[in-house]
Structure 1
Amino acid sequence: MEVSNPKRVLAVSLADEANHLRRVIRDLSGSAPSPVSTSLAGTTHHVALDTRYYKASVPVWLDLVASPAEWAESFLSDEASEVLAVLGGLVVVFALPAPGAPADALRLLIRHVGRVVNAALGGWEWEGVRLAVGVGEAGADDWDELCAEAGLEFVQVGPGRQTQSGLNEFGERTGMARVKEALEANDWAQPDSPPFSDFGDFEAGSDGHPEISDADLDPENLDFGFDRADFEWLRKAIWSAGQQDSPPAENAGASSIREMIASDDAQDGDGACGKGTGPAPGLDGDDDAGVVHDDEVVKLERMIRKLQAVREAGAGLGEAQRDGDDDAGVVHDDEVVKLERMMRKLQAVREAGAGLGEAQRKKMAAHAVAEAMREL
């Protein structure tokens, strides 16, 4: 059986140990990950799993952690709910410190990853893979114990390429063979239903587009990062999209977000977000309920791309101008903040929808559009 939309693995290391993370992923998959930028953070790599029961190409999200506490807080926030829902594995990679070497940062990383495992994923009751991979030949007893307290299975691997299937005194596999075995034993199939109700409040990140192309859903093209600001890698991807497809300068000076939307409608005709057009199709009980049409989502995405120009226009104005009355002809700070929040939500659903079927992606898109309409 081929698993077409497998769950994801999140593999992390400290920011200054990216070389160990890269090496472990290379040894696991047979090929080195190719960073989408100068940093390994935000890269998606695939690990092929082929057992007698299933075949799957499992996407592995790579992250580098600069502040373990902030990283953990981002995963314990509401914005991370959809990310956690599609995770099937969490792997921490670190270099085993030499005796007497400073290791405070590593201890913090393991403890805060343990917070996420226990508080957000369910600890040992979580059915996903949770591994701590220690690279090196230094003593590992203390780290084995610390990882167990964090809800992680500790696996020690040597500093070189590890392909052998070594066994310990109990006849169990060790090294990279054990890492591969743990991944193969997991169930990577996505649940049939998305992790949100049809009518529940859509709290986590979103980007609803019902008809997303295969290229859009290719995990290799999706930067996925995690911090308190709704995940920094997504933020960078959004800003870069805005700079590549920035709006005309005359639109940057719209007096408010609502006027910017109205100018959109004047150019493109009636749409879901136009003034006086009424509720969006499929969102207020008509015959197309549950379906989001292309023009609705495209219009929202175009508004999001205009955000960069709006911010730049406001940056050159004084505080009094930015916060003046509705007739001042400038952009208000609270409106920009509102659009930023909507932007982050719309972008995150695109990633969450990558592992779902078309019908489920449409439901997610409906939630995203409804949320945006309420905020605007």
Structure 2
Amino acid sequence: MAQPTQIRNPRRLLILAPTSHSPSTIPPFLHALTGAPVAAATFAGYTTHPPLRLQNKYYTADVPIWVDEIPLDTDHRSSPPTPPSTTTPAGEKPAVTPTQWQTEFSSPEAQVVRDAIGALIICVRNLDAPAPPPPSEGEGENPAPEAVDTRADVRALNDFLRAVGAVRALIEDERGGVDEVPAVVVLVGRTETPAAATTTTEDDGPGLDGETPFSVPWWEDQLFEMGMVGVEVVAWDPRAGEAETRNQFGEYQGMRRVREVLETHQWAAAESDAKSDDGDGDGDELERELLGLDDEAGFDWEVGELEREMVGLRFAMERGEEFEGDDQGEGDGDGDDERRVESVEGLLLRMQAIRDMSDELPEQERKRFAARAVRDIMKEL
């Protein structure tokens, strides 16, 4: 039996959560998913978590993880208003809304970040179902249950999901097909039984098609109404441990289902599809690796990996991750950050220029040209 292929340059797993939900959802989820505990206090641009190890009979991959948090509109409304004369402290970025986040991630400047995303996980703290109204006295009719669709927390969470869904749709459109970016909405908290989630009675309330509000089927209907087709909804209780459960259709539930979705995805990026080369083996060890003489990846993998590492650096800086030493003095901190971003963008442009210029050369010349250029960039890094 053939050995699984090692995907050497996988795309990234992007995990998103509302800012107000992330402290209670991201740490237990990441720990359960990867086995590595989380020490970070904030998850805006968090890119330093150990990679996720995925393995099936076809491939193995160490998938890098990016985490980001997006404030809900209710988070802004619940905060005290800022006086007009008050300015944002140096080094701090004003919080973005889901719509602003969607605009930033949909911009041409974010193309390289979108290209690096392989799958999406959206962690939310599930909302509390409305309490049943007290029975009326006498022979009158019982009062109507609360309309959950009009609740501020429901509208805010739907706006958040809609923004993420729009970015996912854009990525899939850019790649020319549906299901290019698997997505899972993880409802973190107490899970309901399958029977409770699908019971239909006259008093079920305003859920779509009689579904219990905030159950998995109810959220699936919400996503369908938003046009987020193919997005799975999984309820996961951190207190449930590693127990594997199935629904009435025999499908895995909880963390087992999340891993199943990720394990069945093809994580290989376009840059890692280069064919092997049977060259004569000349040159030093670094050049052999860059020229693809020792494995099937070749210099295309090296170019792609360097490019993606720089994308990760830019992602972290743009999303507000702190660099070591930033809190030791103010001075030129902002200027240093700007220079870092400009340096990363310049290197990305050089990587693209390497590809463009080498495309016109014969294969052997193309490889040598790219190898020299990549070595120069590696020295600068």
TM-score of the two chains, using structure 1 as the length reference: 0.55
In the aligned structure 2, how far is the partner of 1:30 from the partner of 1:346? Answer: 36
Q: Which runs of 5+ in 2 are unaligned?
A: 72-96, 131-150, 192-213, 274-301, 353-366
Paired amino acid for 2:163: H
Tell me if 1:127 matches 2:183.
no
In the aligned structure 1, how far is the partner of 2:104 from the partner of 2:234? Answer: 26
Choose the corresponding residue for 2:154, options 103, 106, 114: 103
Report the secondary structure of 2:64's partner residue: strand
Paired amino acid for 1:135: V
Choose the corresponding residue for 1:30, options 28, 35, 40: 35
**How has the CA–CA distance of structure 1 residues 55 and 120 changed in structure 2, closer, same or farther, with 3 Å as cutoff?**
closer
**How has the CA–CA distance of structure 1 residues 341 and 21 changed in structure 2, closer, same or farther, with 3 Å as cutoff?**
closer
In the aligned structure 2, how far is the partner of 1:145 from the partner of 1:233? Answer: 34
**How has the CA–CA distance of structure 1 residues 193 and 181 changed in structure 2, closer, same or farther, with 3 Å as cutoff?**
closer
Tell me if 1:59 matches 2:64.
yes
Deviation at 1:217, TM superposition (A): 8.6
Q: Which runs of 5+ in 1 are unaligned?
A: 195-210, 247-304, 312-336, 367-376
Tell me if 1:165 matches 2:244.
yes
**How has the CA–CA distance of structure 1 residues 50 and 120 changed in structure 2, closer, same or farther, with 3 Å as cutoff?**
closer
The root-mean-square deviation of aligned C-alpha atoms, in Å, is: 4.5
Tell me if 1:7 matches 2:14.
no
Matching residue of 1:85: 115
Deviates more, 1:98-107 or 1:340-349: 340-349
Paired amino acid for 1:7: R
Paired amino acid for 2:223: C
Report the secondary structure of 1:188's partner residue: coil
In the aligned structure 2, how far is the partner of 1:43 from the partner of 1:188? Answer: 20
Paired amino acid for 2:320: W
Q: Which has the larger radius of gyration?
A: 2
**How has the CA–CA distance of structure 1 residues 217 and 81 changed in structure 2, closer, same or farther, with 3 Å as cutoff?**
closer
In the aligned structure 2, how far is the partner of 1:351 from the partner of 1:128? Answer: 25
Deviates more, 1:82-91 or 1:116-125: 116-125
Deviation at 1:72, TM superposition (A): 0.8
Q: After the TM superposition, which residues 144-183 of structure 1 pair with which residues of structure 2 at under 5 Å, given as runs?
A: 144-148=220-224, 149-151=227-229, 152-183=231-262
Tell me if 1:191 matches 2:244.
no
Choose the corresponding residue for 1:232, options 304, 315, 319: 319
Deviation at 1:165, TM superposition (A): 2.2
Matching residue of 2:43: 40
The answer as to whether partners of 1:193 and 1:360 remain within 8 angstroms in 2 is no
Choose the corresponding residue for 2:335, options 305, 308, 312: 308
In the aligned structure 1, how far is the partner of 2:108 from the partner of 2:310? Answer: 25
Q: After the TM superposition, which residues 112-123 of structure 1 pair with which residues of structure 2 at under 5 Å, given as runs?
A: 112-122=163-173
Deviation at 1:89, TM superposition (A): 0.4
**How has the CA–CA distance of structure 1 residues 193 and 362 changed in structure 2, closer, same or farther, with 3 Å as cutoff?**
farther
**How has the CA–CA distance of structure 1 residues 187 and 173 changed in structure 2, closer, same or farther, with 3 Å as cutoff?**
same
Report the secondary structure of 1:233's partner residue: coil
Deviation at 1:158, TM superposition (A): 1.9
The number of aligned residues is 253
- The percent of aligned pairs where both chains have the same amino acid is 24
The answer as to whether partners of 1:63 and 1:225 remain within 8 angstroms in 2 is no
Report the secondary structure of 1:48's partner residue: strand
Q: After the TM superposition, which residues 355-366 of structure 1 pair with which residues of structure 2 at under 5 Å, given as runs?
A: 359=370, 362=373
Tell me if 1:345 matches 2:345.
yes
In the aligned structure 1, how far is the partner of 2:242 from the partner of 2:159? Answer: 30
**How has the CA–CA distance of structure 1 residues 220 and 344 changed in structure 2, closer, same or farther, with 3 Å as cutoff?**
closer
In the aligned structure 1, how far is the partner of 2:39 from the partner of 2:351? Answer: 19
In the aligned structure 2, how far is the partner of 1:25 from the partner of 1:119? Answer: 26
**How has the CA–CA distance of structure 1 residues 347 and 62 changed in structure 2, closer, same or farther, with 3 Å as cutoff?**
farther
Matching residue of 1:72: 102
